[in-house]
Amino acid sequence: QVQLVESGGGLVQAGGSLRLSCAASGRTFSRHVMGWFRQAPGKDREFVIAISWSGASTYYAESVKGRFTISRDNAKNTVYLQMNSLKPEDTAVYYCAADPEVRTFLQATYWGQGTQVTVSS
């Protein structure tokens, strides 16, 4: 069982940066793929970014490549999402997610409660 708690959301101007954190509980955190999804008002939830359990592999949605970076600290049971060059279209609720396998990550097993990111133009 893995429980996830996000933090770090807020309001930022276009072009600015934010860093989200996701703290996980559970002894098997280091064996889970971790990542982020987002959902904007009136839109479906979409995949943003993910990182393998070792941190050796990362996966990005085309829309965030070159702007967002994911990292993890298994000793602290925490995954981070660094968001740079933010755009108004990045405005959404961001959800941390975890799953034991990459191939099933899009239907992740564990979810956080979400944190709001708002980018003003």
B/e letters for 11-28, b = 16+ CB within 10 Å, e = fewer, are ebeeeeebebbbbbeeee
Going from the first residue of the chain to its last (121 residues), give the mean pLDDT of each consecutive group of 10, the final group possibly shorter: 92 98 85 95 96 94 97 94 98 96 90 97 94
pLDDT confidence of residue 102:
86
pLDDT confidence of residue 26:
78
Q: Is 9 helix (H, G, I), strand (E, B) or coil?
A: coil
pLDDT confidence of residue 31:
87
Other Cβ atoms within 10 Å of 42 Cβ, number:
5
